[in-house]
Amino acid sequence: MDDFILALIAVFVILGILLTASAWFPYYPEGVPEEERVIHTFSAGTVGYTQNYVSSVQEFGDFSVGVPQDEILKSAPALEITAGVFGGESEEFNIIVPDYVMEWLLGGEISFTVEDTNQLGNLVIEWNGAELFSKKAYSGVHSIDIRPEQIKSQNTLKIYSQGPGFMFWAASVYKISDFSAVAHYGPAKFIDFTATNDELETLETFELAWYTASRRGNISVKINGDELYYGVPERDMSIEFTEKDLDGAQIRPGNNRITFSPVDGAVFEFQDVLLNTHVSTSKKVVRERFDLYGEDIVKAKANGVTLKMYVEYTDRAGAFNVKLNEATAGTATGRDGWNNIELDASLLEEGSNWIEISSSGAFDVGQASLEFA
């Protein structure tokens, strides 16, 4: 019994010591500043972009997937080819074939219409030095096939006329319209879309949409080489995406590529294919006034100051930009939880000061405090 009483007394003594120690050395949970370090506390709320709208609509029309596709390599609405004793007019084009066309290449075709000619000399068309056409072309539509093995990534196309022969005083003339050089590839379909720097900085989401007029099998849709969708498309399709939905591929300022690839002989007809770009518009900026006098302004300038913010939710990733008295004082990539941003204390002034917090993303911020470093 005596041992029990002694043990009980010991417990009360230990509790008394702990209570006394807690009074002398208070515990501050992580992220809760000690009072003597705090310059100013506030609740920031939403920081960054809060509303969105469609900044651009890129329309790609109707097309089929799973059948040969056409890529126009060169076109000219009107050409006049002549040849005589004293010279004439000819055309030479350098033609680049995109890598994605070379990968799925089936062949090519040159087509044109002879509107008017005196047929005094042969019309000659050369592709990479090889004659594809050489004869007195009649008025009307002409079509010339190019074999896949004749097509390279870089090609030279020449169009000229031979002279009028014994009729040396005249000139051979061919007036041509609707001239085009086309590569056939497939069965995948490629379309390019553009994005600006401003759109990417404020991007909410891209929306790829179309109507599936007919379908048979599965399709793979890729953005810059990374798969975004695989399956049998619904009639009314709408796919929203950002870089976070891709496996490492980046969406760059300028041209980007969408690839529609049929799987195992599948065939599709798509109508009204378009890409909507949704961007955020309303930018919420937090501004707070605080005062620094005497020893506090000296301490702040000597040791520095830190902005601490607790991000409760990230609606869109981005960076915080903090200003002191209208000048940039610090930046940092935002993240969930506590964010500590060291600021340029040389921008502080004795008396009233202003702190301004903005972001290229969208964050819900709870507790925030400006503290001595």
DSSP 320-354: EEEEETTEEEEEEE--SEEEEEEE-GGG--SEEEE
Whether the pLDDT of residue 165 is over 80: the answer is no
Q: Which residues of 152-168 are buried (b: 16+ CB within 10 A; e: fewer)?
A: eeebebebbbbbbeeee
In this prediction, residue 100 has a pLDDT band, given cuts at 50, 70 and 90, of confident
Report how far residue 141's alpha carbon sits from residue 122's, in angstroms, rounded to the nearest whole number: 16
Give per-residue pLDDT as tens, 255-281: 999 999 999 999 999 999 999 999 877
**Class of 31-50+282-372 per CATH?**
mainly beta
Half-sphere exposure of 176 (CA within 13 A, CB side): 29
User: What average pLDDT does the structure give for the chain?
Assistant: 88
Torsion-angle region of residue 249: left (phi > 0), alpha (psi -120 to 50) or beta? beta
100 vs 344 pLDDT, higher one: 344
> What's the CA dihedral at 12, 18, 24, 30 to 10 degrees?
-150
Are 31-50+282-372 and 52-65+189-279 the same fold in CATH?
A: yes
Task: Summarize the confidence of residues 202-215 as an average pLDDT.
Answer: 93
**What distance lies between CA 129 and its chain's CA centroid?**
40
Cα angle 159, 139, 97 (rounded to 5 degrees) comes to 35
The structural domains of the chain, with segments of one domain joined by +, span 31-50+282-372, 52-65+189-279, 69-185
pLDDT band at 283 (very low <50, low <70, confident <90, very high): confident
> What pLDDT, on the 0 to 100 scale, is given for residue 35?
55
CATH number (3.40.605.10, 2.60.120.260, 2.40.128.720, 1.10.10.10) of 52-65+189-279 reads 2.60.120.260
The pLDDT assigned to 4 comes to: 53
Structurally, what CATH architecture does the domain formed by 69-185 represent?
Sandwich (2.60)
Percentage of residues of the chain with pLDDT beyond 70: 90
2 pLDDT band (50/70/90 cuts)? Answer: low
Using CA atoms, how far residue 338 sits from 32, 278, 287, 344, 372, in Å, is: 10, 29, 19, 20, 16
Task: Give the residue carrying structure tokens 């980046």.
Answer: 250
Whether the CB-CB separation of 367 and 310 falls below 8 Å is answered with: yes
